């Protein structure tokens, strides 16, 4: 019996049922401080892949699975409904998008990499498996005018208005994820009000710098209005009356209502739109991509680089300044030539 065999029955690790291996993978994800949302996403995709293998009679020990099974699964996904198992309605009739299918492949490749690292397989057959191509979409972002219209729709003289005003400034100034924003405590505020300590994904902490205007609004809200909304003993900057942090759904609904109230058309007013907006405008204004990576708490620079695109108006402005044709001195020559020809 080799060292790869388990003591109980002489079964090699690669021959253990995938369900049992997935249970161990779940423990590994929990131990690595993955968020509950990320944990659920990985496991849902992997169980869906397992169901496909069982239903297609392709299920074998993990060391006998690889590229061919994944290819067949991708073909299967390309013809799948968006939400299998649900009663069809207008929102669920479409097929999975190319980006969603790419996400499935990412999750499966990550699992196979873990299998290799943990010794379930000797080689990773999916290490060089290419991700399915997905169209690159232009990220919709808010303009400065949009943000000013949102702020103008609020009454800063009321406690709720002052709180919502500060929430928008923080989202626009620091690109916070909503769980990060909701869980800011009074102790997370820098004594000099220059940074906010944020606990992000995987319980990783980072310092997010904030502007002078945002610092001023924090002081104003804390000193004049916060105690009108929440109990003094609550540790959270944005707390509900019961002292618990403001809910993620509450912020999402707030932004949606404000977007309608401000009359924003053609753009979704959501927490993620603010995050995209912060990142895009930070780079457009000359910010450094490595600094942006640290501010936003990205684990990989690759994630940050998706914000290096320019919006259509920025492209137009850049083209007007730097187009090779724009910089050719043809105007006078063309008029001169026309006169000579006549």
Report the catalytic residues.
177, 201, 272, 275, 298, 307
Q: Are 146 and 264 in contact (CB under 8 A)?
A: yes
User: What letter does residue 188 receive in the DSSP assignment?
Assistant: G
**How far does Cα 32 stand from its chain's mean position?**
19
Distant-in-sequence, close-in-space partners of 302: CB < 8 Å, separation ≥ 6: none
User: What letter does residue 104 receive in the DSSP assignment?
Assistant: H
**Cα distance between residue 52 and residue 50, in whole Å:** 5
Look at residue 245 and give its three-state secondary structure.
strand
**Cα distance between residue 223 and residue 242, in whole Å:** 19
**Cα distance between residue 175 and residue 272, in whole Å:** 9
Q: Euclidean distance between the first and final Cα of the chain, in Å? A: 98
Over the range 51-79, which residues count as b (16 or more CB within 10 Å of their CB) and which as e? ebbeeeeebebbbebbeebbeebbebbee
């Amino acid at each position: 019996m080799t060292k790869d065999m388990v003591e109980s029955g002489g079964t090699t690790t690669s021959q253990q049922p995938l369900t049992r291996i997935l249970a161990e993978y779940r423990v590994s994800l929990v131990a690595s401080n993955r968020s509950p949302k990320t944990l659920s996403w990985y496991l849902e995709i992997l169980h869906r892949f397992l169901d496909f293998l069982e239903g297609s009679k392709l299920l074998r020990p993990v060391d006998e699975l690889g590229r061919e099974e994944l290819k067949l699964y991708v073909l299967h996904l390309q013809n799948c409904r968006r939400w299998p198992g649900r009663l069809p309605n207008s929102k669920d009739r479409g097929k999975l998008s190319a980006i969603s299918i790419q996400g499935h492949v990412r999750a499966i490749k990550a699992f196979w990499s873990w299998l290799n690292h943990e010794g379930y397989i000797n080689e990773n057959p999916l290490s060089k498996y290419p991700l399915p191509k997905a169209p690159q979409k232009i990220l919709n972002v808010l303009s400065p005018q949009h943000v000013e219209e949102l702020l103008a729709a609020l009454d800063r003289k009321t406690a709720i208005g002052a709180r919502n005003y500060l929430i928008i400034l923080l989202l626009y100034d620091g690109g916070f994820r909503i769980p990060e924003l909701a869980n800011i405590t009074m102790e997370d505020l820098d004594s000099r009000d220059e940074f906010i300590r944020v606990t992000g994904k995987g319980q990783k902490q980072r310092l997010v710098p904030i502007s002078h205007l945002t610092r001023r609004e924090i002081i104003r809200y804390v000193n004049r209005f916060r105690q009108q909304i929440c109990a003094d003993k609550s540790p959270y900057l944005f707390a509900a009356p019961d002292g618990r942090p403001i809910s993620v759904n509450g912020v999402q609904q707030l932004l949606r209502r404000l977007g309608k109230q401000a009359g924003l058309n053609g753009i979704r007013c959501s927490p993620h739109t603010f995050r995209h907006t912060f990142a895009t405008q930070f780079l457009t204004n000359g910010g450094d991509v490595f600094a942006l990576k640290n501010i936003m708490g990205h684990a990989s620079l690759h994630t940050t680089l998706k914000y290096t695109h320019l919006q259509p108006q920025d492209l137009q402005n850049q083209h007007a300044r730097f187009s090779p044709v724009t910089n050719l001195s043809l105007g006078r020559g063309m008029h001169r030539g026309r006169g000579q020809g006549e």
